[in-house]
Every structure is written in C-alpha cells, then in structure tokens.
Structure 1
Amino acid sequence: MERHKVQNLYEINEVKIELVRKTTYDGFENLGMVVSCSSGGWRRNRFRRAKPLATLAAKFSPELISRGAKDCLPVEIAVHGKPAMAVYFYSVYCEDSNIIADKMRVERGTVHQYVRRFVNSVEGEYEPTSFK
C-alpha cells in the first residue's frame, strides 16, 4: 500500500513548491520538492534549490527554463544580469556555487548574494505565500 502525501510549502505567481512524501509500510519516504506550474514541473531535493527555481519560473516562462541545453544560458535570462544568470545555473542545472563562481569570475559568496538578491526582487514583485 503506497500513497502520496503532498504538503504545500510556497507559492509565487501560480508556481508552487510542494513536499511530496510516499507512505510505505515502514513510514514516510521523502520524494523531494516539486516545483510545479500549469505547463510542467521539476523535482529538487532541497528547498534552497527549489525556491530560486520557483522564482525563476515565476519571473520567466517555464518553457524558457526547460528548453536549455547544459551550459547554455537563454538570452532572455542573460539580459537580466548576473543575479538571474546565477539563479539559472544554481537552480536549473543544480551546479555547485564554486563552479558558478568560476564561470562568472566572481567569488563563491557573491554567487549566494546574487541568488538571494534575485529571489528577494521577484518576491517583491509577486508577493509569495509561504505555508511553512
């Protein structure tokens, strides 16, 4: 007997983050965070990767996020500057912040600042709901 339990964690501009758990005979097994919108979804293991992805999907079209090849950056993201670029590599490709820092020729801490800055600016635009 397996059932799935979904817990809403966060929502911004019709993009949701949900924690999905599978009920098994032994108890709960976490399946991870699911970032979802009307046109699809992505799975991430941690909220710290899921939240930037949700804000990216809220700001840009989800199709734009899904179509890129590895190490390719859509022009629409690039023209929004380094914070959007850092979030794209961090949340879409789940790259380590050290690798992103090398690509962007900045310090590792700067990558984290970029991610926080982007998330905060998008949250300022769309007023998210947090269920935590």
Structure 2
Amino acid sequence: MKRPLLLLTGVLIFLIPVGKQAMNPHPGNTSSELFDKIRGIIEARLGGEEISCRAFYETTYPLRACYGWKGQTRDFISRFNREISSIATIGGWREDYAVCGSFFALKESPDRTFGVSIAPKVAHPDLESDDSLREFDLLVTLTVDQ
C-alpha cells in the first residue's frame, strides 16, 4: 500500500507517494517531458522561434517558454489546436485585452496540464517596442504546470 508523504513548502502542500509503487504511472508524461513535447510542436511544426521571456515576465518559471510567431492569432490557434488535439483536451480559447489563452490537459494523463497565451504585438505598445519581437507579429507563451 502506498502511503502519502506530506511535504510542506511555504504555503504549498504536495503529496508524494512513497514506497515500491512510487514510480510515475505514465512514463513520458513528466512535466519536463511534456514541456519538451509542446515546445517541439511549437518550434518544429508551427515555426515558432524561441525568444527570451525575461523582457515580458518579472518572475522566472522553469517550465515557461516564449516564442515569436509571424501571422494572425486565429491562424496560430487553428494550427495549434490541430497539432495538439490528438494528445490533449482543449479547454477553450478566451480573449481578454487582445490576449488569447487556453488551458490543456493530456488525454492519457489529465493531471498533466499546460497553458498557451498569444499576445499580438500591435495591441500592446510594450511588445511593439521590444527588439526580440521585431520580426514577429505575436508573442506566444507556453507554461507547463509542475
């Protein structure tokens, strides 16, 4: 029988299974592997070019990647949904202040989640003036839940 080990870190509480069966029940679905898989989709299949997130976010997060993308928001969403639909459920895209975002969960392991946000440069003067986005129309951000 697995016994949970309670680990307190600040205000966050994590339950970690201990014992013989503490192995990941879904090999290949760790947060890091999921991060690498989605990054590969954005880069290789959609043509996103990775750029530094430092200019856009005050805090660093180990499983966050930022991309410049040429094209329209709706085109990215359509292509991304097509690429991801076989492995993840799509939470539905929402728009707020011209930024679109959606959450996703892996079909075979729904506890593995990630989010994607898309900010068009023309709607945000701070993005318009950033050198790393000079060649691009959109800032696409991927964040994988740890």
TM-score using structure 1 length:
0.31
Q: Name the one with the larger helix percent.
A: 1
Q: Name the one with the larger strand percent.
A: 2
TM-score using structure 2 length:
0.29
